[in-house]
Homo-oligomer: A and B are copies of this chain.
Amino acid sequence: MVADVIDSDSWRLWPAGDKRLMVDKQVYRNLSTVTDKDLDTVKRNFEWVVEQLDHLVPPNEHLVVIVMGSPADKAHCENIQKYCNELGLKSEVRCTSAHKTTEYTLDMISFYEGLNVPLVFIAVAGRSNGLGPVISGNTDYPVINCPPGPKEDLQRDVWSSLNVPSGLGCSTVVYPETAALCAAQNIALTNYIVWAKLRARRLGFLETLPRADKEIRSTH
């Protein structure tokens, strides 16, 4: 049943032709009638989706490899991993320097390429980011740069991630949550569970933001 129903196209029919989730989008059409009951309907639907996802078997293997250039960036990587966990992603956290342990870095890339599963690398390297570009130059899997800060250095150091030489294909984000979401969007191309997690999460905004709006409006 799952294979038929849950993919990016037929979500609107889900679950099994039930149009209740469509209804929640109509709720917002007439702003004057956003009642608590409407919001609760959305919320219940949303929670139901999340629960269902826990019963599904993962369709295939995948791995998000979070690589830090220095042990000092461990907290940043754990933050990324926390978001990965919430999105149903499998991940590993590793440590190697493209500058100081270059061969170890190349071996690490080879090791993960040999696993034969869809991979996404998230490169976490402060100051001059050699890690993401060196990984990207030695693999064809997606590489997402997510510099660890400190925040006040980001404005200048982000260019070592963004302004990569021609021929390299790594992209850049500036928040751990964004890195995990990007990785999830990539993996979701081959994994409907992750895709459903993303959609359920995004559906949640349709409940949380209008509820926040309602509270704020009522008190100002």
A57 touches B (CB below 8 Å): no
Residues of chain B within 8 A of A127, CB atoms compared? 163-165
By the criterion of a CB under 8 Å from any partner CB, how many residues of chain A are at the interface? 108
Q: Which of A30, A81, A209, A217 counts the most chain B CB atoms within 10 A?
A: A209
Q: Which of A31, A111, A125, A210 counts the most chain B CB atoms within 10 A?
A: A31
Contact of A106 among B103, B141, B180, B209 (CB under 8 A): B103
Cβ-defined contact, A137 with B102, below 8 A: yes
- Return A47 CB to nearest CB of chain B, in Å: 18
A interface residues, Cβ below 8 angstroms from B: 7-10, 25, 28-32, 68-71, 74, 77-78, 81, 91-104, 106-108, 110-111, 113-116, 118-119, 125-130, 133-134, 136-138, 140-144, 152-153, 155-175, 177-178, 180-182, 184-190, 195, 198-199, 201-202, 205-206, 209-210, 212-213, 216-217, 220
Which A-B residue pairs are the 9 nearest by beta carbons?
Answer: A169-B181, A9-B116, A99-B137, A160-B160, A93-B220, A171-B171, A140-B198, A95-B213, A127-B163
Name 9 interchain pairs, CB-CB below 8 A, sorted by A: A70-B165, A92-B217, A94-B213, A98-B133, A99-B133, A118-B189, A171-B178, A171-B182, A172-B172
